[in-house]
């Protein structure tokens, strides 16, 4: 259902407000360059600092702007099951194709708690759900056995794996046949080599065509070509995490003239030292 090159799209701001005109242009830029799905209101979209009203509107706007040209997987996670269910229900109501639901952060539920959390959302909605496993952000990890158990629920169709471990993917696919999507750009190709079906990418914000080319080469079995693309993009993949995501990628988009360089606290601008490194690398890729 969900495979290919998918972008965790940034949320552009202007004078403290969501800049919908710019967001619309970014969505068109993605679709024109081969992106298979738009993922609004994820970590890269600064979802923790969006108000509930803004979050709902960004998802609605994205669905409207995409207009069925590609899929929309709406970020819908929370550390409150009630709130995650509300966000997921809203994504379903406005016509999103799926919902990306992160493991609850800060309160650190047990594996049983995770099963009950995702199970409740799955049972009370019909929209396809993508589990989001990123323990470095949340402090809790979905274990492969837990993912396998959750995969028996009809509308839990995929997991975005950002554990930084290809072996995690091996273990999941050894236990069940859920779709695994990479959440780490630099591990996309290794994950696809053992059965992953694509990526929800940060780097695709700035090089959507190149990420799409790499992913589709792998999906179509052109491994030599995909490997070449991977190494060509590898430095860029790493640069996008030189500081906390989405600081580098949003700064890169600003350097490319696509967004205003504006964050919401507690995120702040890129350090001067890393700005020099980013400018130099973008120049070497012909992106500045």
Residues 142-163 have pLDDT tens digits of 999 999 999 999 999 999 999 9
pLDDT at residue 101 above 90? Answer: yes
Cα–Cα dist 197/256, whole Å: 29
pLDDT band with cut points at 50, 70 and 90 for residue 31: very high
pLDDT at residue 229 above 90? Answer: yes
Q: Give catalytic residue positions.
A: 132, 160
The string over 193-228, giving b where at least 16 C-beta atoms fall within 10 Å of a residue's C-beta and e elsewhere, is: eeebbbbbbbbbbbbbebbbbbbbbbbeeeeeebee
Half-sphere exposure (Cβ direction) of 256: Cα atoms closer than 13 Å? 19
The stretch 69-91 carries a mean pLDDT of 97
pLDDT band with cut points at 50, 70 and 90 for residue 4: very high
Is residue 220 helix, strand or coil? coil
Q: Rounded to 5, what percent of the chain is helix, strand, coil?
A: 50, 15, 35
pLDDT band with cut points at 50, 70 and 90 for residue 1: confident
pLDDT tens by residue, 242-280 = 999 999 999 999 999 999 999 999 999 999 999 999 999
In terms of Cα–Cα distance, which of 38, 43, 34 is closest to 23?
Answer: 38
This prediction has a pTM of 0.96
Torsion of CA 165, 30, 226, 239, to 10 degrees: -50
DSSP 49: G
Is residue 277 helix, strand or coil? helix
CATH entry 3.30.420.40 includes domain 4-220: no
Cα–Cα dist 139/170, whole Å: 22
């Amino acid at each position: 259902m969900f495979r290919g090159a998918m972008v965790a799209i940034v949320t552009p701001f202007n004078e403290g407000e969501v800049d919908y005109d710019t967001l619309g242009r970014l969505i068109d830029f993605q679709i024109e360059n081969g992106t298979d799905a738009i993922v609004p209101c994820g970590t890269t979209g600064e979802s923790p600092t969006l108000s509930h009203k803004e979050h709902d509107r960004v998802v609605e706007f994205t669905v409207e702007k995409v207009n069925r040209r590609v899929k929309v997987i709406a970020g819908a996670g929370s550390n409150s099951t009630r709130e995650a269910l509300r966000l997921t229900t809203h994504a379903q109501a406005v016509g999103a194709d799926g919902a990306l639901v992160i493991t609850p952060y800060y309160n650190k539920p047990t594996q049983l708690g995770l099963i009950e959390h995702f199970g409740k959302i799955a049972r009370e909605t019909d929209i396809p759900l993508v589990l989001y496993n990123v323990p470095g952000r949340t402090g809790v990890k979905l274990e492969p056995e837990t993912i396998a158990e959750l995969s028996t629920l009809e509308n839990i169709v995929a997991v975005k794996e950002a554990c930084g471990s290809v072996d995690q993917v091996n273990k999941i696919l050894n236990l069940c046949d859920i779709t695994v999507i990479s959440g780490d750009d630099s591990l996309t190709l290794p994950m696809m080599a053992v059965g992953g079906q694509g990526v929800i990418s940060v780097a695709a914000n700035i090089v959507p065509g190149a990420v799409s080319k790499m992913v589709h080469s792998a999906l179509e079995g052109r491994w030599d070509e995909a490997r070449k693309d991977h190494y060509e993009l590898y430095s860029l993949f790493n640069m996008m995490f030189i500081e906390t995501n989405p600081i580098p990628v949003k700064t890169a988009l600003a350097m490319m003239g696509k967004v205003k360089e504006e964050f919401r606290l507690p995120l702040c601008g890129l350090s001067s030292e890393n700005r020099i490194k980013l400018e130099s690398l973008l120049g070497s890729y012909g992106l500045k």
